[in-house]
Amino acid sequence: DGLVVIHGNRDASGGFFFDGLTLPDYHVGDQVNPGSSIAEVIDVSRLEVYAQVGESDHSNLKPGEPVDLQVYALPGDRFTGKVETVGGATSHEFWDDSAQHKFDVTILLDKPDPRLRPGFAGELSIRGDQLSNAVSIPSEAVFDRGGKKIVYCKQHGSFEAQQVKIRALSEGRAVLEGIQPGTVVALVNPETRASEQAKASKAGTPSGPSVK
């Protein structure tokens, strides 16, 4: 048993296809060029979910980690699965202007649902290693200085550099050691900002004698 998926008829557009173009399905009587794929049979007893993750998340993933999935077409339903494969090479589409490359990840669902169909989109969360006694801050608050990871912590009205140890890093958060919970951290390098302000102030100061 399987689910038959009819492909779009690219021959209807003269063989040309571009992103965003809607193709009609094949129908009885359509002419098909040799080698064209018109349909495929999907094994619904084994459904996989395809996703992409950023470079900073790639190192945190490994096969076997549990996954929670929500599908937009089935609101309120929750599906579970496990990471099956994590791509070792980056993929980058020519129309994507993002500078960060992505890694392909495949998730195998624990219990396939007959309501799921190829092409459905959704959101997923991958539950990685559990870290105890962890402090999490925005990843943009971590700076590199001389090969060391630095966080600027607010102390006595100013921000002081504090070396930290990164335990885990994602696109949005950094889990680290070296600061206490509740510490106020800078999202912009205060040393760079002070230098820029000094240059701007110097550039705005008139040179030569002043006329009164």
Which amino acid would we find at residue 21?
L
Contact (Cβ atoms closer than 8 angstroms) between residue 109 and residue 82: no
Token duo for residue 124: 């997923």
pTM (2 d.p.)? 0.53
- Whether residue 117 is contained in a domain is answered as yes
- Torsion angles phi and psi, residue 168, rounded to 5: -160, 145
Contact (Cβ atoms closer than 8 angstroms) between residue 144 and residue 159: no
- Which residue range forms the structural domain that includes residue 113? 47-129
Token duo for residue 27: 């129908």
Rounded to whole angstroms, the Cα distance separating 63 from 85 reads 6
Same domain, 38 and 52: no
Rounded to whole angstroms, the Cα distance separating 31 from 36 reads 10
pLDDT for position 58: 78
pLDDT for position 209: 46
Q: Give the DSSP H/E element, type plus range, for residue 154.
A: strand 148-155
Q: Measured between alpha carbons, how far is residue 83 from residues 37, 45, 50, 105 in Å?
A: 29, 17, 10, 7
pLDDT for position 107: 93
pLDDT for position 25: 72
Same domain, 71 and 125: yes
- Whether residue 210 is contained in a domain is answered as no
- Whether residue 206 is contained in a domain is answered as no
CATH number at residue 124: 2.40.30.170
Contact (Cβ atoms closer than 8 angstroms) between residue 81 and residue 107: yes
Rounded to whole angstroms, the Cα distance separating 165 from 151 reads 10
Which amino acid would we find at residue 180?
Q
pLDDT for position 210: 44
Could you give the number of structural domains in the chain? 3
pLDDT for position 137: 92
Same domain, 115 and 142: no
- Whether residue 56 is contained in a domain is answered as yes
Q: What is the mean pLDDT of each run of 10 residues along the chain (212 residues)?
A: 62 54 69 72 77 79 91 92 84 56 89 83 85 85 91 91 86 85 91 68 55 40
pLDDT for position 113: 85
- Please tell me whether residue 203 adopts helix, strand or coil conformation: helix
Closest by Cα among 203, 49, 204 to 117:
49
